[in-house]
Amino acid sequence: MRIFHVFLMTMALLLTPAVARAQGAFGSGAPHIAARLASESAMPAPGKDTAIAFAMEPEAGWHGYWENPGDAGLGMTVKWTLPKGVSVGALRYPVPETLMISGLMNHVYEGPYAVLAPLTVAADVPAGTRLPIRVRADWLACTDKICVPEGADLTLDLVAGDGQVQRADRARFDAWRTHLPRPLGAQASYAMTNGRLHMAIPFPARAQANDVHLFPLAEGFTRYAALQKARREGDRLLIETDAAQGFRGGPMQAVLRTGDHVGFLLTATPGPVPAPQDGAMRTVFIALAGAILGGLLLNIMPCVFPILGLKALSLARAGGNEREVRHEALAYAAGVIATCLALGGALLALRGAGAAAGWAFQLQDPRIILLLLLLVTAIAFNLAGLFDLGGFGGGERLAARGGTIGSFWTGALVAFVATPCTGPFMGAAMGTALVLPVGAALAIFAGLGLGLALPFVLLAYLPALRSRLPRPGPWMARVQRIFAIPMFLTALGLAWLLGQQRGVPAMTLGLGAALLLALLLWWLGRRQHSGRGGGGLVLLGALALLGGGMALLPKQAPAVTLASGAIPFDEARLASLRAAGKPVFLYFTADWCLTCKANEAAAIDRAETRAAFEKAGVTVMVGDWTNADPAITRFLEGQGRSGVPLYLWYAPGREARALSQLLTVSTLTALVP
């Protein structure tokens, strides 16, 4: 919509001469906004600045526009013709007013106003030199019903001199300067959650702030027509409003209006923003509930379920020793929750340092993938009976102590591998966590860990559930061998992911390291059968494999291969397609995200879906987040998300519609007629 208005206004300005001729033929041609060029000093001093101004006077019922006009209109454009040795700086606009017309927010001036600019005379210009200043200015004059492009050739004849300013001129320019936004002197911060922009602005509690409104200097930050909620909290002013579709992120410059044509120029950067007191606890509780529920669902992942099953069998082995059972459960839960807190804390620290990082950042690093590949390979061969973990030393002592330390590290591994695939209930929760205060954010990350650990804890603390487990027996060894199968599949998946991140050489390197580790573990198992050790040597060998593999990993990621007919994510391309009225299905995925891959196989990459989209002229755009991509991270933040999957549907002329994180073919085909 904004692009359409700008196009119309631009065409109107191009036709200004024709309009002027028409006015001359049919009327007096008097402009609806009169303009004149004025200088604070008629004799500017060489080597110094003086102020000049476009003094604008709209007729009653007419208005002009601020430099960012809002949803409609255009600011003033100027083209200078200057003598040698004279330069003019950027235009400085006064604090604007808001005017809502037919649901469109306009940033306007409905009364007399002045746009100022600094004029500089070079130091080598001789005194007495005539300085003819010429400028072509074009602007738009509007009422609430019509707009007329207007313009004028303005002149100002100055003479280089001593810079003297007449008292009347100084008073007039001083009055105009009071309407210019003043530098705030402190940096503001903003955060995003669920498409809402929250901004914290340092502002003394004793300072007056009436009729507060935030005017972004550039497009792409706020939805202009959205209601802005402002409140005071000590020496801070907190503003909440809707973010612009396709929020651009990065530093934001804006004018904060705090009174009638009174305001401050500020810069805001991403950072922590205190949650509003009203509804803050409700927001935290909703996000916490989503995190716990999402953590519960993570237990069905193929790399988690076998471990959970084995932990459940360990409870059956424990018999009636309630103390041992509960200690193991608490240790497992502590490992899961501690890892979730560590990952969440690291993510908050990275974002606080200015890095564009999102949830699952650890799986965007191929070195971490190689580490997990070797670790999961070792677990799989242990479950298959190739060797005994006790051979690494300390196994007997752990067993004697109830296995609490082993349970802790088992929980840590489960959380590290499983949490990146956040599931259908956790996308909004993780996005909310990143804009809450640190304490509340860490509580949500802990809630994710609690949900992941909850099934094992319930088994430990509810004997009635545990009594339903089968009695211990030889069958447990067979089940353990069966559980090795999904772990081997997980190892293969990690090797494939290495290939997706760094190409076939990286996958070959990972498989080779896993094979060498398997040989070392086979050697250890043979020695264990004969009553000998060697776990320390195998551990050193595994560390050497890991270090050598990390050093040899390719540095560059291969080109991303997209599905037939899809195009890679590009925010400018998205805006262009939307401006052209094209329907767009945009989705964000990653090769390490099981939910993403399941949706693609079950719904997106199906012949029925492709046929429906092709018939309706839908453009499919894909944001691949397998490797870290700051542009995708910022866009996800703009949607109130911190990770994938995310599915957006852009119907022609409409805002984005976020789809469910569990897709079906019928869900997608129903989007198009």
For 63-88, what is each residue's pLDDT tens digit?
Answer: 999 999 999 888 899 999 999 999 99
Model confidence at 17, pLDDT cuts 50, 70, 90, reads very low
Both tokens of residue 78?
């100027």
Burial of 665 from C-beta contacts in 10 A (0-12 / 13-18 / 19+): middle
The answer, yes or no, to whether the previous bond of 204 is cis (omega within 30 of 0) is no
What pLDDT does 293 receive?
Answer: 82
Model confidence at 165, pLDDT cuts 50, 70, 90, reads very high
Q: Which of 232-236, 390-394, 398-402, 517-521 has the lowest mean pLDDT?
A: 398-402
Spatial separation of the C-alpha atoms in residues 422 and 57, rounded to whole Å: 58
Model confidence at 421, pLDDT cuts 50, 70, 90, reads low
Report yes or no: 556 and 504 within 8 Å, Cβ to Cβ: no
In sequence order, what are the residues at sequence separation of 6 or more whose Cβ sits closer than 8 angstroms to the Cβ of residue 208? 258, 259
Of the ranges 260-264, 295-299, 397-401, 520-524, the best mean pLDDT one:
520-524
- Percent of the chain clearing pLDDT 90 (strictly above): 40
Model confidence at 140, pLDDT cuts 50, 70, 90, reads very high
Closest CA to 318 of 455, 476, 460, 452: 460
What would the DSSP string read from start to end of 102-148?
A: TTEEEEEE-S-EEEEEEEEE-TTSPTT-EEEEEEEEEEEEE-SS-EE
What pLDDT does 311 receive?
Answer: 66
Spatial separation of the C-alpha atoms in residues 369 and 491, rounded to whole Å: 10
Q: What is the pLDDT of residues 445-499, one digit of tens each?
A: 888 889 888 988 888 888 777 777 666 667 677 877 888 888 898 889 889 989 9
**Strand, coil or helix: what is 643?**
coil
- List helix spans (H) across 393-534: 395-400, 404-418, 427-433, 438-461, 463-466, 475-502, 504-529
Which amino acid, 565? G
Model confidence at 166, pLDDT cuts 50, 70, 90, reads very high
Spatial separation of the C-alpha atoms in residues 443 and 222, rounded to whole Å: 29
pLDDT at 10 over 90: no
Spatial separation of the C-alpha atoms in residues 109 and 261, rounded to whole Å: 10
Spatial separation of the C-alpha atoms in residues 10 and 15, rounded to whole Å: 9
CA angle in degrees (0–180, nearest 5) for 542-309-465: 150
pTM of the predicted model, to two decimals?
0.52
What pLDDT does 2 receive?
Answer: 46
What pLDDT does 636 receive?
Answer: 80
User: Do β-strands 113-121 and 49-58 pair in parallel, antiparallel, or remain unpaired?
Assistant: antiparallel
Model confidence at 277, pLDDT cuts 50, 70, 90, reads low
**Strand, coil or helix: what is 590?**
coil
Higher pLDDT: 27 or 574? It is: 574
Q: How many residues does the chain have?
A: 673
Q: Taking the CA atoms of the chain, what radius of gyration do you get in angstroms?
A: 33
**Which is it for the CA torsion 367, 370, 375, 376, positive or negative?**
positive
Closest CA to 339 of 287, 411, 431: 411
Tell me the CA distances in angstroms from 374 to 378, 450, 490, 495, 539, one per residue in order.
6, 27, 11, 10, 11
Spatial separation of the C-alpha atoms in residues 270 and 440, rounded to whole Å: 18
Model confidence at 224, pLDDT cuts 50, 70, 90, reads very high
pLDDT at 201 over 50: yes
Both tokens of residue 181?
């936004």
Which amino acid, 570? D
Cβ neighbours around 138 below 10 Å, total: 17
Name the DSSP class of 222.
B
**Strand, coil or helix: what is 3?**
helix
Model confidence at 420, pLDDT cuts 50, 70, 90, reads low
What pLDDT does 402 receive?
Answer: 42
Q: What's the mean pLDDT when you consider all of the chain?
A: 82
What pLDDT does 630 receive?
Answer: 76
Tell me the CA distances in angstroms from 665 to 193, 219, 598, 659, one per residue in order.
29, 36, 12, 13
Name the DSSP class of 650.
E
Residue found under tokens 């074009």? 138
In sequence order, what E strands does 304-445 have?
none
CA angle in degrees (0–180, nearest 5) for 42-140-132: 25
Q: What is the four-CA torsion angle of 316, 319, 320, 321, rounded to 10 degrees?
A: -100
Spatial separation of the C-alpha atoms in residues 451 and 437, rounded to whole Å: 22
What pLDDT does 353 receive?
Answer: 57
What pLDDT does 474 receive?
Answer: 73
Higher pLDDT: 136 or 592? It is: 136
Report yes or no: 32 and 59 within 8 Å, Cβ to Cβ: yes
CA angle in degrees (0–180, nearest 5) for 356-290-227: 65
Model confidence at 245, pLDDT cuts 50, 70, 90, reads confident
230 pairs with which residues across the strands?
239
Which helix (H) or strand (E) segment holds residue 294: the answer is helix 280-297
pLDDT at 399 over 60: no
Higher pLDDT: 143 or 27? It is: 143
Spatial separation of the C-alpha atoms in residues 525 and 164, rounded to whole Å: 95
In sequence order, what are the residues at sequence separation of 6 or more whose Cβ sits closer than 8 angstroms to the Cβ of residue 554? 502, 503, 505, 506
What pLDDT does 147 receive?
Answer: 92
